[in-house]
Amino acid sequence: MRRRLAAGNWKMNMTPTQGAAFIKEIAPLVAGAEAEVLFCVPAIDIPAAVEAAKGTNIEIGAENFYYEAKGAYTGEISLDMIKDTGVEYVLMGHSERRQIFGECDEMINKKLLAALAAQMKPILCCGESLEIREAGDTLTWIEGQIRSAFTGVTADEVKKTVIAYEPIWAIGTGKTATTGQAQEVCGMIRELVAKLYDAGTAEAVRILYGGSVNPENAAELFAQPDIDGGLVGGASLKLTFEKIVKA
């Protein structure tokens, strides 16, 4: 059985002090949850978040990193730096990194390969714009992103990778893909993994849905056969994230 994952992506929110206080406040609310609980936080928040999460069932992840081990890359952080804090999960391929910061499919593939080589736990994001959705090209677009990201990745490595489907048109807009739309794409992703690798790998990989997930719609979304939890943005900054975890 695939263990459910309730992952929060704080984006550029919460100071280290605020983040630590929030983790201490929500920890007793999610204690004993069946789902794995994760917050991916800004780099500067990581040490304080890790310290605040000690002794709880909350894990901390990084929102971003650079694929090179070290060097003249002003402003970037390496996997070794992240790993030294005790963090295991790392995000890559989020639409905001793709759109705002120009990260291409090739860079995301390099990030995934680097994270796997460092024995980190990658969360690979994929998703389509409203224009692609309305043109009927969603499944083709997502397949292209997945195929590119998994170039040079083995079946065993895919099993260690979490895939997060986030339709761009539903991120922070209040619009949510219908349960059917979310399941359709997540199911297609699982079928694609089976085609690229094998049925066992497809059955093992965890696939999340993200995009305006909230306490009201979480249970219905997570009840779908190919949705193993959520990658949650704004709602992960509130104590009501507890309800999403328990969904």
Q: Give tens-digit pLDDT for 200-219.
A: 999 999 999 998 899 999 99
Tell me the mean pLDDT in the region 162-189.
90
The CATH number assigned to the domain with range 5-246 reads: 3.20.20.70
Q: Do 228 and 218 meet the contact criterion of CB atoms below 8 Å apart?
A: no
Contacts of 27 (CB under 8 A, 6+ apart): 52, 53, 56, 57, 58
pLDDT band at 165 (very low <50, low <70, confident <90, very high): very high
Cβ neighbour number for residue 86 with a 10 Å cutoff: 14
Q: For a pLDDT cut of 70, what percent of the chain falls above it? A: 100
- Whether 173 shows a pLDDT value over 80: the answer reads no
Tell me the mean pLDDT in the region 121-150.
96
pLDDT band at 193 (very low <50, low <70, confident <90, very high): very high
pLDDT band at 39 (very low <50, low <70, confident <90, very high): very high
Verify whether residue 59 is a known catalytic residue: no
Specify the pLDDT at position 170.
84
d(CA 43, CA 21): 17
Q: Do 247 and 240 meet the contact criterion of CB atoms below 8 Å apart?
A: no
Tell me the mean pLDDT in the region 34-54.
98
- Whether 176 shows a pLDDT value over 80: the answer reads no
d(CA 142, CA 159): 19
Catalytic option among 94, 103, 128, 157: 94
Q: Do 237 and 14 meet the contact criterion of CB atoms below 8 Å apart?
A: yes
Nearest in space to 104 (alpha carbons), one of 149, 59, 42: 149
Tell me the mean pLDDT in the region 110-117.
98
d(CA 2, CA 230): 13
Reading the block at residue 187, the tokens are 């199911």
Tell me the mean pLDDT in the region 152-180.
91
Specify the pLDDT at position 212.
86
Verify whether residue 94 is a known catalytic residue: yes
Catalytic option among 96, 128, 166, 242: 166
Q: Do 205 and 190 meet the contact criterion of CB atoms below 8 Å apart?
A: yes
Contacts of 141 (CB under 8 A, 6+ apart): 128, 132
Specify the pLDDT at position 141.
96
Bridge partners of 209, per DSSP, are: 165, 230
Tell me the mean pLDDT in the region 88-102.
96
